[in-house]
Structure 1
Amino acid sequence: MRALAFALSLMLPGAGHACKAALVLAMDVSGSVDAGEWRLQADGLAAALADRQIREVLVQEQVALAVVQWSALGQQALVIPWQRMLDQRAVDRMAERVRTMPRAFPGSDTAVGEALEFSLAQFSAVSDCRRKIIDMSGDGDENVGFTTPRARRAAIEAGVEVNGLAIESMGLSITNYYRRWVITPRGFVETAQGHLDYARAIRAKMLRELTAPTS
């Protein structure tokens, strides 16, 4: 009986591993993001996943990752479903999937609230993970739907952390928008000075949120 139970346990996703964090990477593909800027985002995220420090923490914490792309009302897609980072090979596969993933939408309005609500709904599939985090990255504030306050309240009530990656073209207008309307009380905003700075910013952001104290 013990041998049978052990064999069955190996067939279960994440068997024998404690998932300490589930992270949704929600990427802006609205009309303000052109083809070159989209490429910088995808390549920047793939490079972050290939970073030695990030790879180590992903496996050590047994992180579950998913990627969402979002734009206007009704334009949200789970482009990479939950993947458990159980070993270095899993991280390699995830980085390659990110690098080669197609753009889900050609670009339209910026429905931040709907993107946040859509991302929040994905956590039902990873209920065993201790922490639940949403990375909202974008280069514009909400211009349609205007449901961000409601979505943020829902995240707080569900115990989900929301952090922001604001891609600025000038000043700190997007950073301030994310600070005021998007992130949860213990969240933070990482600022990228344009899309060329995205790779640095997403690496810094992931290290900060995945190594944060849990108490």
Structure 2
Amino acid sequence: MRRRDFVRHASAGLLAAPALLAAGRARAVEPVDVELALAVDVSRSVDAEEQELQFRGYAAAFRDPRLLDGIARGAIGSIAVCFFTWSDWNVQELLVPWARIDGRESGERFAAAIDAAPRRTHLYTSISAAIDYAATLFGQGYEGTRQVVDISGDGVNNSGRPLAQARADALSRGIILNGLAVLDRTPPPAQFANLTPPLDDYYRDEVIGGPGAFLMVAEGFQAFEGAVRRKIIREIASNPPPGPRVERAYA
């Protein structure tokens, strides 16, 4: 039973029977400030060095005292976070399952799990399938005041169902979609140069959505570590202040 439903039923006097109390305990979830699913692009446009920069950037973020201090300042003082990679419409891999982060030790465990996770590269870029997969992960032992998907990538959707459909379905469930667009300074082949919009515009207009949603733009993979730290600190704020819809990070 979800925590807010439990409170509502209790106030109505519906949980007096021992059997109902036992059922409530059996379905108990742990309250956290935010449920945060980290979705990392491992399509073929991300080479081995760039993939390593992404993994190291996320690991470094959860070792950063500024991030851990932000978590401690929440109403509950903890968040739940998981880490998965995505590529083709049928390729999503949960590398680090849900974990509660509430301080230096739990942050280090999560960072170490990212360090130890396998690095694999696939082909296409299915942001839609990444959103669909992320939506299935929430509510697994934790209940946050917000459910947030943090999607990092360097390309547009080119596999799976239309992105607009996946985005609309997630937003209808109250899931917030934030983006971390990585601007690769290697120009695309000339025949593709005019076929897609600028990636930052694409993520802003087609990917992010929900209350307070925003886009962090990393100006190249070398800027990724600073971008991801700033992004997560903003995402975990208990009462996120109004901020720019698009932020930029530079190496």
- Asked if these proteins are the same fold (TM beyond 0.5), I'd say yes
- Name the counterpart of 1:58: 71
Change (3 A) 1:48 1:173: same
- Name the counterpart of 2:155: 140
Change (3 A) 1:86 1:204: closer
Deviation at residue 213 of structure 1 after TM alignment: 2.1
| In 2: Cα distance, 1:59 partner to 1:30 partner | 34
Higher Rg of the two aligned structures:
2
Match of 1:113 among 128, 133, 136: 128
Q: Is it true that 1:213 corresponds to 2:239 in the alignment?
A: yes
Letter in 2 for 1:123: F
Deviation at residue 85 of structure 1 after TM alignment: 1.0
- Identify, as 1 or 2, the structure richer in helix: 1
CA contact (8 A) 2:88 2:125 kept: yes
| In 1: Cα distance, 2:29 partner to 2:208 partner | 30
CA contact (8 A) 2:29 2:141 kept: no
Task: Pick which of 37-46 and 168-177 moved more.
Answer: 168-177
CA contact (8 A) 1:22 1:126 kept: no
Match of 2:207 among 182, 192, 195: 182
Secondary structure (helix, strand or coil) at the match of 1:198 reads: helix
| In 2: Cα distance, 1:73 partner to 1:146 partner | 8
RMSD: 2.1
Change (3 A) 1:47 1:110: same
User: How does the TM-score come out when normalised to structure 2?
Assistant: 0.75
Q: Is it true that 1:192 corresponds to 2:205 in the alignment?
A: no
Change (3 A) 1:114 1:81: same
Alignment of 1:15-94 (within 5 A): 18-60=31-73, 61-94=77-110
Q: Which runs of 5+ in 2 are unaligned?
A: 1-24, 188-196, 242-251
User: How does the TM-score come out when normalised to structure 1?
Assistant: 0.86
| In 1: Cα distance, 2:240 partner to 2:227 partner | 22
Deviation at residue 150 of structure 1 after TM alignment: 1.1
| In 2: Cα distance, 1:111 partner to 1:180 partner | 16
Task: Pick which of 82-91 and 175-184 moved more.
Answer: 82-91
Change (3 A) 1:126 1:164: farther
Deviation at residue 13 of structure 1 after TM alignment: 7.3
**Percent sequence identity over aligned pairs:** 31
Letter in 1 for 2:229: R
Deviation at residue 163 of structure 1 after TM alignment: 0.3
- Name the counterpart of 1:6: none
Superposed structure 1 runs of 4+ greater than 4 Å apart: none
Letter in 2 for 1:45: Y
Task: Pick which of 43-52 and 170-179 moved more.
Answer: 170-179
| In 2: Cα distance, 1:137 partner to 1:179 partner | 12
| In 2: Cα distance, 1:70 partner to 1:52 partner | 28
| In 1: Cα distance, 2:90 partner to 2:102 partner | 33
Deviation at residue 212 of structure 1 after TM alignment: 5.8
Change (3 A) 1:160 1:75: same
| In 1: Cα distance, 2:217 partner to 2:208 partner | 13
- Name the counterpart of 2:11: none
| In 1: Cα distance, 2:177 partner to 2:150 partner | 6
